[in-house]
Amino acid sequence: MNHFLDIHLTAPQDLRQIIDSAATMKEARKGRTRGAPDDDLPLEGRMVALIFEKPSTRTRVSFDVGVRQMGGETMVLSGQDMQLGHGETIADTARVMSRYVDLIMIRTFDEAVLTEMAEFATVPVINGLTDRTHPCQIMADVLTYEEHRGPIKGKKVVWSGDGNNVCASFLHAAGQFGFDLTFAGPATLDPEKEWVEFARGKGSTIEIERDPQKAVAGADLVVTDTWVSMHDAQSARERRHNQLRPYRVDAELMSHAKPDALFMHCLPAHRDDEVTSEVMDGPNSVIFDEAENRLHAQKAIMRYCLGV
Ligand code: CP
Ligand code: NVA
């Protein structure tokens, strides 16, 4: 049994195997309707709990559909509707849930909820986003990059905007998959030093640059995300917008990257805040492939967790 808690906590050879298995499973489904089962049904007889303490469209639907395509069953639970949201400990919740289900995916606020769940569950636990990281998203992003452009190893990724949870998982992936990353954003919103050091320790070149145009020079991939995440205080909205406006990804900024540079955004996007519609809907954007690839990447993650 394997948990999938974060990219830096998963061995590089396992991450590679997950990406390759996702690509194979995606290819095998070509031409099928979304609801049609896969040829293999490795989750037959398995029950998967999807727990959400924050809103979700992609994570919720892609996990649910992915489990069903592999022959399993799901239950989608809101943290607020569970006793978890009313004082039952995470440890007790984990032990109880493990008596009913074969796999738990949780989206939560504090990372400690995820780690405690994993410590006390006797079934695998998957991180569906915390305030600090979003590993399933970046597995989908690596899959997306590689299906468009080949190996991501040695490429230059530029993150323009808030050094948030999605950026953190990109830094983990830089270290584990061997690509370089330049962060462009204001100093107050820098990514966590610990993650920068993790990637550098693995041999990746990680640069922190205040000038977005300089940052994107030579980029193979430009990425951004919302300026106000679900865990950020709404009262900080105006300040964040003012700080981050110079880092908006627009056609002018993209013109400083390599001509074939891809654009990614995990979505949901705030059109014409962090990225213009022109870039989102432009020829270099692969945002909807990214969204689709959540499904394929997570199916491979669940197989890895269950060893099936
Ligand atoms: N990208 C992502 O995780 O989207 P949702 O919040 O809709 O799940
Ligand atoms: N950084 C965003 C990602 C949403 C998928 C958030 O945490 O709200």
Q: Does the active-site annotation cover 80?
A: no
Task: Kindly tell me the sign of the dihedral angle through the C-alpha atoms of 56, 62, 63, 65.
Answer: positive
- The Cα 14–Cα 307 span in angstroms is 11
- Measured in degrees and rounded to the nearest 5, phi and psi for residue 220 equal -90, -20
- The encoded tokens of residue 274 equal 């962090």
pLDDT of residue 11: 98
Ligand 1, atom 1, residue with closest C-alpha? 266
pLDDT score, position 14 = 98
Give the pLDDT confidence score for residue 85 in this predicted structure. 81
Q: Determine the distance separating the centroid of ligand 1 and the alpha carbon of 253, expressed in angstroms.
A: 25
Ligand 1 pocket mutation, candidates 59, 138, 293, 301, criterion most atoms within 8 A of CB: 59
The rounded Å distance from CA 58 to ligand 1 centre is: 5
Contact 53, 79 (CB under 8 A): yes
- The percent of the chain in helix, strand and coil, each rounded to the nearest 5, is 50, 15, 35
CA-to-CA distance for 50 and 57, rounded, in angstroms? 12
Q: Whose CA is nearest to atom 3 of ligand 2?
A: 229
CA 54 / ligand 1 centre spacing (Å) = 10
68: region left, alpha or beta (phi > 0 left; psi from -120 to 50 alpha): alpha
Per DSSP, the three-state class of 236 is helix
Per-residue pLDDT of the chain (308 residues; tens, 9 = 90+): 999 999 999 999 999 999 999 999 999 999 999 999 999 999 999 999 999 999 999 999 999 999 999 999 999 999 989 998 889 999 999 999 999 999 999 999 999 999 999 999 999 999 999 999 999 999 999 999 999 999 999 999 999 999 999 999 999 999 999 999 999 999 999 999 999 999 999 999 999 999 999 999 999 999 999 999 999 999 999 999 999 999 999 999 999 999 999 999 999 999 999 999 999 999 999 999 999 999 999 999 999 999 99
Which of 64, 69, 248, 266 is labelled catalytic? Answer: 266
Whether 256 is catalytic is no
pTM summary value: 0.98
Closest Cα to atom 2 of ligand 1: 58
63's enclosing H/E stretch is helix 58-69
pLDDT at 16: 98
Distance CA 85, CA 119 (A): 19
- Give yes or no for residue 56 CB within 6 A of ligand 2: no
